[in-house]
Amino acid sequence: MKNSPENVAYLNKLLTLNFNTEKAFINLSENIESESVSKFLRLISNDRAQFIKALDSAIRNEGGIPEYPQVSTPLMVGYGLNEILKSIKSSHDDVFTFTEIGKIQMIDIERYQAVINKLDLSDELEHTLKIQKENLVMTLYAINVYKDSCLRNKVAV
């Protein structure tokens, strides 16, 4: 591994990203009226918990120390996510909510791809990150299915 300290730094950024997003999704699932959206948020927050465990292990395997963020509120997640989460909380439109969750997933997919492209990773670590990124992509597909379902239900009413 040529850039092990650099790898650890980027892995810690992904750890922080997933930690904050998981906490934000849990908080949002507890404070949203729509039961279907709440269940979906709990499901994808569970995915993030699994990502965190894998990243923690990867950081340790690289000889680093996982750096978990100090979170004063569940919404302190950076990169404009506060605004997205606040708009979701104030909305009663499931289609809008799923669209906004999709934006979060897209931002995270881009961040994963940037790390994969930038670093000299072991095959195992690259595989782990690609699987996590693919999981985010699959969630994005699921979001589109939920949105289509919501739209069909609106038309049927």
Q: Which of the given ranges, 30-44, 51-65, 71-85, has the highest pLDDT on average?
A: 51-65
Q: Give the chain's domains with CATH numbers.
A: 4-156 (1.20.1260.10)
Contacts of 136 (CB under 8 A, 6+ apart): 105, 108, 109, 112
For residue 22, is pLDDT > 90? yes
> Who wins on pLDDT, 5 or 157?
5
Residue 7 has pLDDT above 50, yes or no: yes
**pLDDT band for position 132 (50/70/90)?**
very high
**What is the Cα–Cα distance from 73 to 118, expressed in whole angstroms?**
31
154 has a pLDDT exceeding 80: no
Inter-residue contact 97 to 42 (CB < 8 Å): no
- The pTM of the full predicted model, rounded to 2 decimals, is 0.86
Q: Span 29-54, mean pLDDT?
A: 93
* Three-class HEC string of the chain: CCCHHHHHHHHHHHHHHHHHHHHHHHHHHHCCCCHHHHHHHHHHHHHHHHHHHHHHHHHHHCCCCCCCCCCCCCCCCCCCHHHHHHHHHHCCCHHHHHHHHHHHHHHHHHHHHHHHHHCCCCHHHHHHHHHHHHHHHHHHHHHHHHHHHHHHHHHHC
Residue with the bigger pLDDT between 65 and 84: it is 65
Q: Looking at the predicted structure, is the pLDDT value of residue 29 above 80?
A: yes
pLDDT-derived band at 16, boundaries 50, 70, 90: very high
Q: Which carries the bigger pLDDT value, residue 149 or residue 75?
A: 149
